[in-house]
Structure 1
């Protein structure tokens, strides 16, 4: 299954470190991050889960729920959490899926649908494509997909920056330019006519007719 931006995030029921969870019911009316890992006790993923544990309040502040996934068993997840806390200084308390039958990884297109076997038959290298970040909106639509190689740790500050941008666009008729951070100027969406833009924004700076720059809306 090949997922694209704007697709409905596939629903599933899975065993997690927080119990059995139905994904759409868990999201409810919130935003959500689903981020995946090829195996427990891998060095880069260990740093990532710890970093996300540190940043969880930042995701909470944005109304974003966090769920991890790793192709391993619940008992392994619990032992891995000990290592994460010892080495990274924070313990994950967000749910982590035990994708032992590869079902969610295949459902989200991170492994081919025809992949056989279970987690016990596979190495991290076998699962190296299970390295995605999905941002899902309250409408259950996929808003962002990031894919990382095993050798490159994810930048969750960038994920937060992207969330700020996407949520701003969800509330206002604006888009964010290169290297934008919260509070900086934005541009009016091309789909907004000048007449409509005058009613909403009043005036703007336009180095070119199609680049209409305004201060970032508040709220």
Structure 2
């Protein structure tokens, strides 16, 4: 079911290599390696057929195309069985008219969740898991976001996060607070006294908006 998980660290950090895996999902068997070359939003949820998780899946399904435009795939995970996943996603479509087209992984043994630090190694339940990892096309973790089980994630913020990461990397600049598409980026701060003392046309050496 898994590959390279034994060597995974107890707690993953930004810029770590994402642990590889292969598992059953609602779209057939999936593996992390199959997402190479694309960004991936990999997230876990506490349980199927729960209210907050349902609200998240409805929002993620509706935003699926927006993520796709950013060359970013969605991949969910919980410890529920594959059959529970299928039943839940079918009921979401029947009850809310929303089709969840992205895969949802079965992780009944909690192997993947523990490898990603979504669960403590001594945990026997996934009830507190609501974790999100943004993984880049090279398989490197670029962002980690955690929410408690009683508060749902902001899908709009996750979209903003993915686009900000991509834009910052592409432009060699920084994304300031609340940055959205079309906003000004920031230049990296001067890293030497010589650079800090240069004239910056009314801007601070440590806070410079990119112009032009």
What's the CA shift for 1:87?
Answer: 3.9
The 3-state SS of whatever aligns with 1:174 is: coil
What's the CA shift for 1:82?
Answer: 2.1
Change (3 A) 1:178 1:79: same
Question: Which blocks of at least 5 consecutive residues in structure 1 are unaligned?
Answer: 117-125, 197-202
Task: Name 2:16's counterpart in structure 1.
Answer: 7
1:73 aligns with 2:69: no
The 3-state SS of whatever aligns with 1:144 is: strand
1:43 aligns with 2:51: yes
Q: How does 1:50-61 map to 2 (within 5 A)?
A: 50-61=58-69
What's the CA shift for 1:215?
Answer: 4.1
Q: TM-score, normalised by structure 2?
A: 0.87
- 1:167-205 C-alpha deviation (Å, 9 max, x unpaired): 011111111111111101110123688x99xxxxxx976
> Paired residues, what number?
200
The 3-state SS of whatever aligns with 1:212 is: coil
Task: Name 1:162's counterpart in structure 2.
Answer: 161
Q: TM-score, normalised by structure 1?
A: 0.84
What's the CA shift for 1:131?
Answer: 0.6
1:114 aligns with 2:113: no
Structure showing the higher strand proportion among its residues: 1
Task: Name 2:101's counterpart in structure 1.
Answer: 93
Distance in 2 (alpha carbons) for counterparts of 1:88 and 1:171: 38
> Could you tell me whether the CA contact under 8 Å between 2:189 and 2:205 is conserved in 1?
no
Distance in 2 (alpha carbons) for counterparts of 1:89 and 1:144: 31
> Could you tell me whether the CA contact under 8 Å between 1:204 and 1:213 is conserved in 2?
no
> Could you tell me whether the CA contact under 8 Å between 2:190 and 2:206 is conserved in 1?
no
Instruction: Specify which of 2, 5, 18 is matched with residue 27 of structure 2.
Output: 18
The 3-state SS of whatever aligns with 2:186 is: strand
Change (3 A) 1:57 1:131: same
What's the CA shift for 1:70?
Answer: 1.5
RMSD of aligned alpha carbons: 2.2
Distance in 2 (alpha carbons) for counterparts of 1:49 and 1:178: 27
- 1:92-137 C-alpha deviation (Å, 9 max, x unpaired): 1111001111111111011122345xxxxxxxxx423321010000
Question: Which blocks of at least 5 consecutive residues in structure 2 are unaligned?
Answer: 1-9
Distance in 2 (alpha carbons) for counterparts of 1:191 and 1:107: 38
